[in-house]
Amino acid sequence: MKFIGFMLLGAILIGACGVIPEKQTSKETDSLQAYKDSLAKQEAFYKSKVRPYPEPLPDSVRARRLKNGLRSAEALCDEFLLALQRRDTTRLFDLAISQEEYLRWIWLEQPASKPIFNIPLEFVWENNWRNSVKGAYKALYDYGGTKLAFASIDYKEGADAYQSYTFYVKPVITVADSTGKKYTLRSMSAIVEMNGLYKVLNYSDKD
């Protein structure tokens, strides 16, 4: 409110005098810069990643294994396509991060996990799972029962490294059917790699 009042006072002075005193302009500039700096610091804090572990990483963290994880993103895509061909929903969800993996390992390093946000764990997982289920069933609706061969993978938003894992964000998977016709799948929001194993972070229903 003080800042807004100060700006209004400056406008009144301009209208009344037609001249802004040099000292007043300097104060206004300093106040505006301080406000911008404060906003920048707040934004940096809210977006900053959590680093809950000492460095180097403890053996217990480096020994973590993602259940049903694959040794490469390409191998993960092959299994994903096979599950679609077989309409195997169980396998599709086996390839995705489980509730335990998400809440015990993934969530702890996310910016939104900071206590200041006070986000309930139940909400975190339910929101993630609900979106993932919609994405998986969309992929089944679009490509279920179709034999598709993996061709290549690219990442629209690249890699995002955290302390104990890396997200490969918005994968774009190019595949081909038996006639050689190519398709582009955007069925995953991200792929997560942890200690050399890859899984789907969650499925996406957004193209």
pLDDT at 23 over 60: no
Do 32 and 90 lie in a common domain? no
DSSP class of 4? H
Task: Examine the domain organization and report whether 96 and 124 are in the same domain.
Answer: yes
Domain membership of residue 56 (yes or no) is no
Statement to judge: residues 158 and 129 lie in one domain = yes
Percent of the chain with pLDDT strictly greater than 90? 76
Same domain, 106 and 18: no
Q: For 154-167, how does the pLDDT look when each residue is reduced to its tens digit (9 = 90+)?
A: 999 999 999 999 99
Q: Is 89 within a domain? A: yes
Are 28 and 127 members of one domain?
no
Reply yes or no on whether the pLDDT at 8 is more than 70: no
Any domain includes 57 = no
Share of the chain above pLDDT 70, in %: 83
Q: Does 104 score more than 70 pLDDT?
A: yes
Is 90 found in the same domain as 9? no
> What is the structure's pLDDT at 18?
47
Q: Are residues 106 and 159 in the same domain?
A: yes
Q: What is the mean pLDDT of the chain?
A: 87
17 and 75 assigned to the same domain:
no
Is residue 53 a part of any domain in this protein? no
Query: Are both 27 and 77 inside the same structural domain?
Result: no
- Residues 112 and 181 both lie in one domain: yes
**Position 62 pLDDT exceeds 50:** yes
pTM: 0.80
The alpha-helical segments, DSSP class H, found in the chain are: 2-17, 22-47, 59-62, 73-86, 89-94, 99-101, 121-143
| Residue 52 counted as domain residue | no
In a domain, 54, yes or no: no
- Domain containing 31 equals 2-47
Is residue 180 over pLDDT 80? yes
Distances (CA, A) of 137 to 28, 34, 87, 143, 203: 56, 49, 10, 10, 9
Q: Could you tell me the CA-to-CA distances from 109 to 54, 121, 163 in Å, in that order?
A: 13, 14, 7
Specify whether 143 is located in the same domain as 75. yes
Nearest to 95 by CA among 107, 82, 109: 82
CB 68 within 8 A of CB 197: no
* Digit-coded pLDDT (tens) for 30-48: 777 776 766 665 566 667 9
Kindly tell me if the per-residue pLDDT of 4 is higher than 50. Answer: no
Show the 3-state SS of 54-76. CCCCCHHHHCCCCCCCECCHHHH
One domain, residues 125 and 195: yes
Q: Residue 197's pLDDT band (boundaries 50, 70, 90)?
A: very high
Q: Answer yes or no: is 197 within a domain.
A: yes
Domain tally for the chain?
2
- Residue 42: the pLDDT is 59
